[in-house]
Chains A and B, each alone.
Chain A
């Protein structure tokens, strides 16, 4: 099947005002991935790995002065060459974005109803009453009681979890084919996180929407995404089925991330498990060494790793960018296993 979204060799440079005038910092360095209709792809990685920026590139919501290269196609239309009108059409009906903090993403001076109707009515040009009726039904679906009253309230009168459900409903209301979710639960209370995720997952499946889901949380990505892309220093180092990522990581970075998760083991008594942190500090694309960007922090690095960039190698339904991927497979699986 032809992919719904196809990203190829995406490079994003952001302007930086330095002591020697304006320069550019490379944040995304050659990202490629496809999203099939109805498929959910997770983008995971540490802060600064470029996952949010990759997501925003899809609808070209980039900071001013950003330079983008590569190819970005949504439903066979080239996003990077779209004019303003085509771009607004893409944003209002093709792709819907859900942001991290619902409190910041809704105009605090307007009612929730204004926010929900704004996109479809103002940008999509649909009939207001019709949209309103659909919105009330959707709000009930995402678990909002008394939706009519909620629409009349202001954002500060609602809880973060409730507001995020409304944001999700508003995103679905625009009848998109692709959802972009930028850490939609990070700003929420832990107990509401699972509710919101469940609703997002349910709505997505019901409507057959594709999704790109950005998160720090490997387990979360594994739970709701068909495929997971692990990003490091502005590149995708591993792209695998979520179902096998945890048990059979192919990149040392993925293995280290999996091993670094805190595990609550009741049987172990009150002794807290030691967190296995990855040594060093995450690098951004522009400060990464010329070889494998993860080489300085990698436990399995060899002299050859620092010489050239490892190419992305496809094998079956996975893809990995590591010179030693094939020889390390067993070792990495063991590393993850001893942890669990």
Chain B
């Protein structure tokens, strides 16, 4: 019986160290700058509201559009709220939207694309038709339409964008999964009697995950810009909630009065985040293709 207990402690995975994994990515200087920015923005999204030096909602109309003052390095917006606090607090709403878009879009795309690649035949053909049909719609147009139908707010545009972005991801995942299904190990798993459902979700999906992650990172950048555009138009996030897209719009008054800090800081954050995610996504895809 001693041998019995001896074997039970075995774990079947020896994780490569973090250092090894990071070195293996070979992202280049631009890629690493993108990584740093992505990390910074992620921290902002998680801890932003806590980092804000002042309450982002407290109005003081006497200080509306005032220039920077001690303790208020970016000055005040048109309602006298601290701009720095609003930029930091806005990170969460601004980045949460695209995250939901990407997660929802990736989940839908993976489900459709991998099952299509596995089943082939009529299901594959139908999924392709759906992807082609959706590709014909610009994401922003679909999002604006959904606001018109379902009302203002974040939910409708997020769902609309997720659906609009699905085919871009789905096509890549499908071709990746398709080449994976023709590999001998899949035949070997079938020969072992492993049911198709398990082969698809335990082998195909994990093996195309790097593709999904790279593609999702790129699309995150696009989704960020699209959702900000919707908020800028006043259709997405509503006042008084802080959001970068919205702040670019509300700061417009300050630009005319010579206080461009609100539009500029929110706009800079948007531009940097969008660039960082897009660059990182492209680097990752290039890395995967070169594999």
| Chain A residues engaging chain B, CB cutoff 8 angstroms | 59, 61, 64, 84, 87-93, 96-97, 99, 101, 104-111, 113-114, 117-119, 122-124, 129, 132-133, 136, 148, 151-153, 170, 174, 180
Contacts and interface: CB of A to CB of B under 8 A. Distances in A.
B188 A97 contact: yes
Contacts of A174: 192-193
Contact of A105 (B3, B12, B188, B195): B188
Contacts of B14: 111, 152-153
B192 A123 contact: yes
Contacts of B187: 61, 99, 105
B194 interface: yes
List the 7 shortest-distance A-B pairs measured between CB atoms, nearest first.
A92-B193, A91-B193, A104-B184, A119-B192, A113-B12, A97-B191, A105-B188
B7 interface: yes
B71 to A, nearest CB: 53
Interface string B206-236: 1100000000000000000000000000000
Contact of B203 (A105, A110, A136): A110
B17 interface: no
Nearest to B4: A133
A108 B188 CA distance: 13
Interface string B181-200: 00111011111111110100
A64 B120 CA distance: 10
Interface in B158-199: 183-185, 187-196, 198
A114 B12 contact: yes
A157 B219 CA distance: 35
Contacts of B196: 84
B13 interface: yes
A274 to B, nearest CB: 37
B-side interface mostly:
helix
A151 B10 contact: yes
Given A110-B203, A152-B13, A153-B14, A91 B185 contact: no
A97 B187 CA distance: 10
Query: Which residue of B10, B183, B191 has the most chain A CB atoms within 10 A of its CB atom?
Result: B191
Nearest to B16: A154
25 contacts: A59-B191, A61-B190, A88-B195, A91-B190, A91-B191, A91-B192, A96-B192, A104-B183, A104-B185, A106-B188, A108-B185, A109-B206, A109-B207, A110-B206, A111-B13, A118-B194, A122-B194, A123-B194, A129-B7, A152-B11, A152-B13, A152-B14, A153-B14, A174-B193, A180-B191
B207 to A, nearest CB: 5
Nearest to B10: A148
A294 to B, nearest CB: 31
Nearest to A124: B193
Contacts, number: 93
Contacts of B192: 91-92, 96-97, 118-119, 123, 170, 174
B189 A118 contact: yes
Q: Is the interface of A mostly helix, strand, loop or mixed?
A: helix
A88 B191 contact: no
B8 interface: yes
B13 to A, nearest CB: 6
B12 A151 contact: yes
Contacts of B4: 133
Candidate in B10, B11, B13 with the most chain A CB atoms within 10 angstroms: B10
A84 B189 CA distance: 14
A119 to B, nearest CB: 4
Contacts of A124: 193
Most buried by B among A99, A105, A132: A105
A39 B272 CA distance: 70
A59 B191 CA distance: 7
Contacts of A111: 12-14
A114 B188 CA distance: 13
Given A93-B193, A101-B184, A133-B4, 7 more contacts: A87-B193, A97-B192, A104-B184, A107-B189, A122-B195, A123-B194, A152-B13
B7 A133 contact: yes
- A61, A93, A117, A123: which has the most chain B beta carbons within 10 Å? A123
Interface in B5-61: 7-8, 10-14
B183 A123 contact: no
A124 B13 CA distance: 22
Given A111-B13, A132-B7, A148-B10, A119 B193 contact: yes
A16 to B, nearest CB: 17
A129 B8 contact: yes
B204 to A, nearest CB: 10
Contacts of A87: 193
A148 B12 CA distance: 9
B7 A136 contact: yes
Contacts of A108: 185
